Chain A
Amino acid sequence: MQKLSKITGTAVAVPRSDIDTDQIIPAAWLKRVERTGFADALFEAWRKDPGFPLNQPGADQARVLVAGPNFGCGSSREHAVWALQDFGFQAVVAPGFADIFRGNAISAGLVPAQVTAAAADQLADALAADPAAQVVVDVAERTVSIASARIAVPFELADFAQWRLLEGLDDIGLTLRHEQEISSFETQRAPWLPVVMPTAAN
């Protein structure tokens, strides 16, 4: 996974609350078996409106999405994160994320930067005034800033998540360091717990 320490670029604001993953990527796109190629899927229905922020000039160059509270609620589809990344986003700044989306974002290397509602409004207002403003999401410092608008606000990101994003670490590799503990745990599981006889592997 790519290391992410500082994301610099333009941003797009979609200041709506409770943006669900069905809006981020409609289910019809989930039939694909690949992990990439979802850029056109992102906000597919909303993008039919020419006035939608992602249709504005320069939006395809944006690196940061600013959104309303409870971003990514609904389905667990990680495709929502992949679609945001395929479009070019490396961070989403919002006053709150749905739990599964946040986990998926951290897994896949998209920064879920949680700011206060007031800060999100401030950022959205600054972007409305100057859509070309450069936004910096600093993962190491946990700040979002727009220097031209003299905004610099902190964001919340758990230490472990921050470390993983900064280092571009693979969770499975980290977990396999605990192989012995897993194996020893497995010898002590309750005897009635269900096991399903595996079929012969090819």
Chain B
Amino acid sequence: MTARLFDKVWDRHVVATPADGPALLYIDLHLIHEVTSPQAFEGLELAGRKVRRPDLTVATMDHDTPTIAIDKPIADPLAATQVDRLRRNCAAHGITLHALGSREQGIVHVIGPQLGLTQPGMTVVCGDSHTSTHGAFGALAFGIGTTQVEHVLATQTLRQVKPAAMAVTVQGELPAACTAKDLVLAIIRTLGVGGGAGSVIEYRGAAISALSMEGRMTVCNMSIEGGARAGLIAPDDTTFGYLEGRAHSPKGAMWERALDDWRTLATDEGAAFDSEVFVDAAAVRPAVTWGTNPAQSVSIDDTVPDPAVLGTPAERQAAQRALTYMGLTPGTPIRDIFVDTVFIGSCTNGRLEDLRAAAEVVRGRKVHQGVRALVVPGSARVRAEAEAEGLDRHFTEAGFEWRYAGCSMCLAMNGDTVGPGQRCASTSNRNFEGRQGPGGRTHLVSPAVAAATAVAGHFSTPGEL
């Protein structure tokens, strides 16, 4: 019988198939952070329960932590309380915490892979929708709510209805000027913002295999923006090369055993998917979102679309609403849109490869007058590695602010916000209304386009500078 990668990972985690409902799935790694865990710990303690597997639970602080003056007490009393609560909960339950200021602190989806905690064939959950990032390693990884966080803390399992399996096959080769971010925005444009609902996506094809692990993480990260439960990519030599030698990767003979197992984690020849979408990599262009959901994007060569030409009445109405919020007029060339802010960072594009790409563009150039530009590394380690390569100097000499690691302006909980009516070119993952601050206007782009836009003051590619 043929099986898909998703089936193989799913099947090896089924603890029980109770008659009364969905399968009980074992969770190999539970990542937690300060924002979605306090009520879960409270529920656990009220019920007199313990954390079943603190050794499979890892905590970090990322969502509302400051990215400046991190050696000082957190000024926001609510954030300070939340961070203290995480510290207390981790201490009380024996959970390893990568606290603000420590060497391995960072965005939860950046540190898991970096530490070698995310490995092929695992199940990974976190109270954060971008947990899909870890699927880049051939893991089944998805976001959960706080009640489910409590469930995993107590039982190390989750009850899950098995989603459908969708294949997104990306044939051909990405143009040189395009990145994984442009590709995933093209995929979401094809799927629609809810197109993946009820499904786990397997990304496959030549253009996916050609991506680095960082690029694969960018693609899997945004699976949720197409509505999918998770996204995954079969592990290969690129995956194994990334994992070898990491802190929690298997060592010696155990590495060989793991490799033998991991090589079996691929969809069998001839296995059918519940649905399949094809994307031509060669047709991908640097993407810029114009609206208020991640499916509303066009190529940088295009103009702001006219809602009148869109398909359904609901789509026209949504597009019209989006354009009003974004303060855009149909027909305006994307390159003629000026920005106030540029944000480079997030679990989508805050890894070393992303910072290298952006630094290469800004090196020897200056941020356009009046533009506020920030680089927020995805983790303390990414920050240190970037500094070792001198990337921070390229950024600061160009006029960027060089910050400490965290989610920062991606969701604007920590005081890093886009002001009302201000326009931001952002390497993050969501352009929802108010996402980066009340009234803020977000355009999602790749790190290269963000960097070029910071220099030009309006949307631009590096080649045009």
Contact = CB atoms under 8 A, between A and B. Distances in A.
Contacts of B26: 182, 185-186, 189
Contacts of B151: 171-172, 175
Interface residues of A, number: 63
B188 to A, nearest CB: 12
Interface stretch (A3-11, A57-65, A76-84, A140-148): A76-84
A34 B56 contact: no
B20 A98 contact: no
Contacts of B39: 33-35, 78
Interface in A14-63: 16-18, 20, 22-23, 26-28, 30-35, 45
A103 B432 contact: no
Interface in B86-124: 90-97, 116-117, 119, 121-122
A70 interface: yes
Query: How big is chain B's contact interface, by range?
Result: 35 or more
A163 B21 contact: yes
A166 B244 CA distance: 50
B91 A27 contact: no
B244 to A, nearest CB: 13
Contacts of B379: none
A172 B49 contact: yes
Interface stretch (B157-165, B205-213, B274-282): B157-165
A23 B431 CA distance: 12
A60 to B, nearest CB: 23
Given A27-B412, A198-B54, 20 more contacts: A20-B430, A22-B433, A27-B435, A30-B35, A31-B64, A31-B413, A74-B430, A103-B148, A104-B145, A104-B147, A108-B147, A159-B21, A172-B47, A174-B18, A176-B155, A181-B16, A182-B16, A186-B156, A194-B116, A196-B57
26 contacts: A16-B317, A17-B314, A18-B193, A30-B35, A32-B82, A73-B227, A74-B129, A74-B430, A75-B129, A75-B430, A76-B128, A76-B144, A77-B145, A78-B147, A99-B197, A158-B161, A172-B154, A178-B15, A178-B18, A186-B26, A190-B261, A193-B28, A194-B117, A196-B248, A201-B94, A202-B92
